[in-house]
Amino acid sequence: MVGPAASVRGAVYLSGIDSGVVMDIGGTSTDVAFIVNGFPRESSITVTMPDLILILDSETGEPIRTDIVKYGYRGTIVVVPADEKMRTEMGIKTFGPKYFGYDEDYVPVEELVNL
């Protein structure tokens, strides 16, 4: 087991928490997994840039920067659709997943969920 799957199982084991959100924060990506009753919950939603993926303090609503996230933070994940200018061909070329080396096409977040 490697990568995000190992991070999720390791977090469950080390924390002793059987339900919550686990984040594996890397240099260019953040993998988020939901834990329910000690097991990862699968999701078919993959949110990518240029949409904004935010972590907010669950109690205060203040933003939590990825460089300061640590064990014990209680955060809420919020996704904000990108501005229309960032969704142009040039915007997606400059800020989309392929720019960061991912072999995925950009799909606007509102097309991924039932809004």
- pLDDT (tens, 9 = 90+) of the chain, 115 residues, equals 555 666 667 777 777 777 776 766 666 666 677 777 877 776 667 788 999 888 888 889 899 888 888 877 777 778 889 999 999 999 999 999 999 898 989 999 888 875 4
| 50 & 96 share domain | yes
Residue 15 phi/psi, 5-degree rounding, is -85, -30
Strands 75-80 vs 20-25: parallel, antiparallel or unpaired = unpaired
| 23 & 60 share domain | no
Is the pTM here over 0.95, yes or no? no
Peptide bond into 97 cis (omega under 30): no
Tokens 């014990």: give the residue.
72
Residue 93: in which H helix or E strand, if any?
A: helix 89-95
Peptide bond into 50 cis (omega under 30): yes
| 67 & 93 share domain | yes
| 12 & 29 share domain | yes
Q: Is residue 99 part of a domain?
A: yes
- Number of folded domains in the chain? 2
Side-chain half-sphere of 74: how many Cα atoms within 13 Å?
6
| 21 & 36 share domain | yes
| 38 & 85 share domain | no
DSSP symbol at 84: G
| 41 & 55 share domain | no
| Nearest residue to 11 (alpha-carbon basis) of 37, 49, 38 | 38
| 88 & 99 share domain | yes
| 36 & 75 share domain | no
Q: Is residue 19 part of a domain?
A: yes
Domain boundaries, position 81: 46-103
